[in-house]
Amino acid sequence: MTSTCILLGFLLLNRPEYETNPLKIIIKTGLETYQKIVSTSQGDVCNFTPSCSRFAKKAVQKYGPIWGSLMAADRLMRCNHWAFEHFNTYYAGIKNNKIYDPVENNYIFGKSRKRRRPEKE
């Protein structure tokens, strides 16, 4: 328990911006802990780019803790072996041999999710 508190305190103190929403702090701290501990030992197994944890972090940052969490849950349900079956219908393209599915394409009140291609870099 003590090591968990120390780890959470370390993560909270090393933030470049100071977040004041407690729900957002809890979610972002959990995601950062996952990224630093679990994700590094698990390797690059996500079918998508950005990875599901980066997607969740960006969704919470951009759309808030409630909508961001719902968007992350939706993404986690889609991250499976059958994701490539729906590539031509819903996803924006292939980037780095992974399905490109940015946060902006998944906002429920945004435009249709169908086939939005990435902008040229």
**Mean pLDDT calculated for residue range 87-102:** 78
Nearest-angstrom CA–CA distance, 96 and 113: 21
Instruction: Mention every residue, 6+ apart, whose C-beta is less than 8 A from residue 47.
Output: 79, 80, 81, 83, 84, 98, 99
| Per-residue confidence (pLDDT) for residue 96, from 0 to 100 | 80
**Mean pLDDT calculated for residue range 105-119:** 63
Predicted confidence (pLDDT) at residue 13 exceeds the cutoff of 60: no
Which residue's entry shows tokens 């100071």? 18
Q: How confident is the model at residue 62 (pLDDT cuts 50, 70, 90)?
A: very high
Helix or strand (DSSP H, E) at 80: none
